[in-house]
Amino acid sequence: MAAELSPEKLSEIHRPTLDQALDAIRTRAYWSPHPEHPKAYGTEGLAGSLGAAEGKAAFDAVLNTRLDLGQPGTDGWTGGEISPYGPELGVEYPHADPDVLLPAMSAAMGSWRAAGPETRALVCLEILARISARTHELAHAVMHTSGQAFVMAFQAGGPHAQDRGLEAVAYAFEEQTRTPRSADWSKPQGKRDPLRLHKSYTAAGRGISLLIGCNTFPTWNGYPGLFASLATGNPVLVKPHPRAVLPLALTVQLAREVLTQAGFDPNLVAMAAERPGEGIAKTLAVRPEVKIIDYTGSTAFGDWLETNARQAQVYTEKAGVNTIVVDSTDDYRGMLSNLAFSLSLYSGQMCTTPQNILIPRDGITTDSGAKTYEEVVTDIAAAVNGLLGDDARANGLLGALVNPDVKARLEGASALGEVALASRTVVNPDFPEAVVRTPVLVKLDGAESDDDAPYLSECFGPVSFAVAVGSSGEALDLLRRTIREKGAMTVGAYTTSPEVERAVEDVCFEESAQLSLNLTGGVYVNQTAAFSDFHGSGGNPAANAALCDGAFVSNRFRVVEVRRQA
Amino acid sequence: MAAELSPEKLSEIHRPTLDQALDAIRTRAYWSPHPEHPKAYGTEGLAGSLGAAEGKAAFDAVLNTRLDLGQPGTDGWTGGEISPYGPELGVEYPHADPDVLLPAMSAAMGSWRAAGPETRALVCLEILARISARTHELAHAVMHTSGQAFVMAFQAGGPHAQDRGLEAVAYAFEEQTRTPRSADWSKPQGKRDPLRLHKSYTAAGRGISLLIGCNTFPTWNGYPGLFASLATGNPVLVKPHPRAVLPLALTVQLAREVLTQAGFDPNLVAMAAERPGEGIAKTLAVRPEVKIIDYTGSTAFGDWLETNARQAQVYTEKAGVNTIVVDSTDDYRGMLSNLAFSLSLYSGQMCTTPQNILIPRDGITTDSGAKTYEEVVTDIAAAVNGLLGDDARANGLLGALVNPDVKARLEGASALGEVALASRTVVNPDFPEAVVRTPVLVKLDGAESDDDAPYLSECFGPVSFAVAVGSSGEALDLLRRTIREKGAMTVGAYTTSPEVERAVEDVCFEESAQLSLNLTGGVYVNQTAAFSDFHGSGGNPAANAALCDGAFVSNRFRVVEVRRQA
């Protein structure tokens, strides 16, 4: 029986997009095939996509149902997600017996390997297209698991996540096709006949790839590993965070649908939801069939995986401490508003949110004149207050706190130092149960740089520290120490001095951290754009891989050569 | 002061070679810029190269001297190499204080990073060119440390090793230049002005790269890691095997000379020779400055490195068990002579030498009629005897046993089963102290497949097992188990059956092993050609990396992005 989605048809639909993606990762100019605006979807927008009302209806329809993915080895049902906005989702997911599911997934590898890199890439692009068409539905799923406000859940959980998935497919395709499918080799032997061999080169996946999802960005942080592994020939088992199952369950459902229609075994993508407290990630991570693991989450569990899952390639994004160095600026107002937005977005619950703002104790020079440390801190606080003064706008930026741990850290922050900006409770009229809080800014002294200094640990959530330092030189020393010991996903700096700029760059080159300089407009240090920006460096303790580069894909497959006498 | 070797001059000399290497790794056709024939060197050959007599004289001149590399932190002298052919080399090498040497190496990184990928590649090519010009000298150094016969030491230790180094440079250059040096990014914002950023991308080395050399192939196994790390911006500390220091010491000397002439800090390449029994590899491997380790050697120490040197990227080539599956052949004589050569070359002391020859108990079909298991074994033994019957030829193929452990394993092999081919002592008239032995072939039964079966462990040296199996299907089961549990650098198979061929391929795809099919001519399963063949797969326990592919280079640097508002 012919597949509904033949390689030819997939090529006709998606090859131009793949080529554009390949071009984008080489030029790193702006590009995205996934519209950011919610109005770009629906009957008058992207072909076949759900509009706002349809997406909401689709989301509502899945609530309080059993989501049967048709997987082998389903031995029960589990669920229990509660939205950070209040409602119980009531969705039940299959619970898998790994002794049945994993062998079924492994058995799917052969024909997927034989399909070759291009067909695998095109199938992945069709999966991404189906996901894109249901962006509105997925936006609600991301919002009600992560606590992100709707627009952010839509953009970061939708087009931006899809971009990162596509970027991973492009890297995977390029990496696998650096070596040709075959070569004729002829080595001269002087007067004798040359030695001749015919050689074939096959990109072979390594085994089952385990995706351990996170609570805050289930799709954005999940898609790169999922698609990088699938595109390189590996079955992918998705183990979602127990509080953020739905976005990945819908993703798995769409992937299985596409794989079937393209004539492949749907078990190339499957899900392992867990019962409360079951902790199946530890069990799955050390299964011999699991050869690749992608993980986003705590340093403790990331370290556990790296130490114990030795049979697998382990890609981890863990905790880090992000720093902003404030040396001087020629756009003081722009700096303040840019920082205020960065601190507020999603209540600081991004792995890229700045935590430590290093400000010279003697103040800085600006286009508005010299500013003391106190003035800078006061002005940042005022900028945040200005940004979040309106409750509707505050709700749209902050979203809800994702879990009680974040709330506890926020509440404990005021004991760490003098509070320059107190957190305030915002009421969300649509979801009165949502825990919505503005960020707190606490003043600390960088001279007390013992290991217990609060600014030397990640305080995940809407907590930032205005750290007084003796000089910009001291700021750079602290920056270096923080990156080296604690890791950093992002570094920002404001300076008008070429010398300071060069010195910050050198620290980032030497400690391997991504740097944003003098951002004062509509781009924020905590945001990266696929195809152009690297997310993390992979070279400091915050993450052992960057999204996305050659290193993220090159060890997910091996090239097996077969040579024959010609 | 201008450098003697400017980037422009280096580009003029070496850029065409780099481009050819880049082309070769993409097409994987035959290519090498390093002549294989000893006569291609000297006044009438390769420009500036030492001829046979000059090379021998240069080697003789370095014996019994102190080789001062001019390194910082030299706190004494060490040496003590004894040639497997008998003579003491008498060369003394600097002993380094890591607390002085390592900081000096780290301090060299900044200008090396700033030089950029192309200049780094071109400097590496100049180092390789200097090495190439001294191939005759290095051949003697490799011969008198590894025990390889001269022609093999010349080819494998000279041009083939240089090819692998150049291949690594090409991969490193390509990987670093996949991302442009800078990009202008402009994101449309509807009716508002677009968001604009200027972005720079810098390939930044990770830190000191430690090369832990091996005894048998100091240059061939050492150059890929050395040049991959140097080309990606890392200083390289060479810790040679205590019995094979000289080839790498001469290499380090040439590298330091070139670096100086090109205006860089010579401490980008340095050596750490050890005192007898000092075991400095363990100390160096866990130094925080060491971020990359390349190692070839025992599984025990490779596993130790992977477990303990967690601050570093660790690339290991360890023990493995290589298999030949004999199912059927249409060139029985060709098969026998090809196998005889493979078993004999360098007395089986290659990580790629076949160990287990799996032969159906009921025999095989051939172009010379059906052959029983006994006949095949007898004929392989006769082929080896025929190949090595002449002592001069035997000496030229076998070389000397590299150390007493190999001799002990050879002597113990006859107790493991019925000896089909006994080892014989060959006298080397030039070096009467050399321990020269022909290979032993022992008959074993594949039905006794418990974990202690001799054929399930690596027996490094001139020992092979003719393992009787029930069928080719059983052979494939044993092949799969052997690769999965013990690893394999090479797999060979002889078959005229398309079904068996397909089945062997599938095992190799699934277990990630490199396969040679029906080799009956002048290419041997234990040889691979740079730019075309992968050495190892990186996907089974014998090695966690292949020589050479994207994965071998992509994690030796990180891309640090700096973005600025435009």
CATH number for the domain whose boundaries are B7-27+38-178+206-319+546-565? 3.40.605.10
Q: Which residues contact A247 (CB under 8 A, 6 or more apart)?
A: A138, A141, A142, A145, A157, A218, A219, A240
Q: Please state the CATH superfamily assignment of the domain spanning residues A69-81+88-182+196-318+546-565 in this structure.
A: Aldehyde Dehydrogenase; Chain A, domain 1 (3.40.605.10)
> Best mutation site among A31, A197, A502 for testing chain B: the one with the most B CBs within 10 Å?
A197
Cβ of A113 under 8 Å from any chain B Cβ?
yes
Chain A residues touching residue B178 (CB < 8 angstroms):
25-26, 174, 550
- Which chain B residues are Cβ-neighbours of A550 within 8 angstroms? 175, 178, 550, 554
Interface of A with B in 80-109 (CB under 8 A): 109
Asked whether B92 and B67 are in contact (CB, 8 A), the reply is yes
- For chain A, the domains span 69-81+88-182+196-318+546-565, 323-517
Residue-wise pLDDT for B213-272, tens only, equals: 999 999 999 999 999 999 999 999 999 999 999 999 999 999 999 999 999 999 999 999
- State residue B2's pLDDT score: 58
Residues in B touching A523 (Cβ below 8 Å): 195, 197, 563, 565
Q: Is A186 on the interface with B (CB under 8 A)?
A: yes
Report d(CA B384, CA B310) in Å as an integer.
45
Distances in whole angstroms, Cα of residue B511 to Cα of each of A110, A310, A559:
12, 17, 11
DSSP B150-211: HHHHHHHHTHHHHHHHHHHHHHHHHHHTSS-SEEEEEEEETTEEEEEEEEEEEEEE-SEEEE
Nearest to A519 among B113, B189, B565 (CB): B565
Q: What phi-psi label fits residue A360: left (phi over 0), alpha (psi between -120 and 50 degrees) or beta?
A: beta
State how far residue A256 is from chain B, nearest Cα, in angstroms.
23
What number of other Cβ atoms are within 10 A of residue A23's Cβ? Answer: 13
Contact A265, A259 (CB under 8 A): yes
Q: What is the model's pLDDT at position B470?
A: 96
| CB neighbours of residue B341 within 10 Å | 20
- The answer to whether the peptide bond before residue A124 is cis (omega within 30 degrees of 0) is no
Please give the radius of gyration of chain B, using alpha carbons only, rounded to the nearest integer.
25
> What are the CA-CA distances from residue B229 to residues A421, B82, B347 (Å)?
48, 30, 32
The tokens describing B519, both together, are: 């080799």
Strand partners, A364: A371
Q: Please provide the average confidence, as pLDDT, over all residues in chain B.
A: 97
Å between A118 CA and nearest CA of chain B: 17
Q: Does residue A187 sit at the B interface (CB-CB below 8 Å)?
A: yes
Per the listing, tokens 């600097």 go with B94
The C-alpha atoms of residue B219 and residue B221 are separated, in whole angstroms, by: 6
Cβ within 8 Å of residue A518, ≥6 positions away: A329, A331, A335, A493, A494, A495, B564, B565
Using DSSP, how many helices (H) and how many strands (E) does chain B show? 18, 19
| Burial call B214-232: b when 16+ CB within 10 Å, e when fewer | bbbbbbbbbbbbbbbbbbb
pLDDT per residue rounded down to tens, chain A (566 residues):
457 899 999 999 999 999 999 999 999 999 999 999 999 999 989 989 999 999 999 999 999 999 999 999 999 999 999 999 999 999 999 999 999 999 999 999 999 999 999 999 999 999 999 999 999 999 999 999 999 999 999 999 999 999 999 999 999 999 999 999 999 999 999 999 999 999 999 999 999 999 999 999 999 999 999 999 999 999 999 999 999 999 999 999 999 999 999 999 999 999 999 999 999 999 999 999 999 999 999 999 999 999 999 999 999 999 999 999 999 999 999 999 999 999 999 999 999 999 999 999 999 999 999 999 999 999 999 999 999 999 999 999 999 999 999 999 999 999 999 999 999 999 999 999 999 999 999 999 998 768 889 999 999 999 999 999 999 999 999 999 999 999 999 999 999 999 999 999 999 999 999 999 999 999 999 999 999 999 999 999 999 999 999 999 999 999 999 999 98
- Residue A537 near chain B (CB below 8 Å): yes
Q: Name residue B79's beta-bridge partners.
A: B92
* Of the partner residues B188, B539, B554, the one whose CB lies closest to the CB of residue A554: B554
Residue A424 Cα to chain centre, angstroms: 29
Residue A554 contacts B where some CB pair is shorter than 8 Å: yes
Quote the pLDDT of residue A2. 58
B382-392 pLDDT per residue, tens: 999 999 999 99
What is the block-wise mean pLDDT of chain B (566 residues), using blocks of 10 residues?
84 98 98 96 93 98 98 97 98 98 98 98 98 98 98 98 98 98 96 96 98 98 98 98 98 98 98 95 98 96 96 96 98 98 97 98 97 98 97 98 96 96 97 98 88 91 97 96 97 98 98 98 97 98 97 98 94
Residue A175 touches partner B, C-beta closer than 8 Å: yes
**Residue B57 in contact with residue B31, Cβ under 8 Å?**
no
Query: Structure tokens of B18?
Result: 């780099």
Q: Could you tell me if A489 lies within 8 Å of chain B, comparing CB atoms?
A: no
Which class for B2: exposed (0-12), middle (13-18), buried (19 or more C-beta within 10 A)? exposed
Calculate how close chain B gets to A423, using CA atoms only, in Å: 30
Strands (E) located in B286-439 = 290-296, 313-317, 323-326, 356-360, 418-421, 425-426, 436-437
Model pLDDT, residue A559: 98
Residues constituting chain A:
566
The distance in angstroms from the start CA to the end CA of chain A is: 36
The structure tokens listed for A60 are 């509502």
Structurally, at CATH architecture level, domain A323-517 sits in 3-Layer(aba) Sandwich (3.40)
pLDDT at A453: 92
CB contact under 8 A, B179 and A549: yes
Contacts for B40 with CB less than 8 Å, ≥ 6 apart: B46
Residue A293 burial by Cβ neighbours in a 10 Å radius (0-12, 13-18, 19+): buried
Exposure class string for B148-165: b at 16+ Cβ within 10 A, else e? bbbbbbbbbbbbbbbbbb
CA dihedral B295, B297, B300, B302 (to 10 degrees): 10
End-to-end CA distance of chain B: 36
| A534 in reach of chain B (CB within 8 A) | yes
Token pair 């190999």 is at which residue?
B406
Nearest Cβ partner for A532 among B185, B204, B521: B185
* pLDDT confidence of residue A1: 47
- Closest-CA residue to B126 (of B259, B230, B220, B22): B259
Judged by a CB distance cut-off of 8 A, whether residue B558 touches chain A is yes
Can you tell me whether residue B304 is helix, strand or coil?
helix
Residue type, A129: A
| Interface TM-score (ipTM) > 0.95 | yes
SS3 category, B506: helix
What's the pLDDT at A417? Answer: 96
Note the pLDDT of residue A378: 98
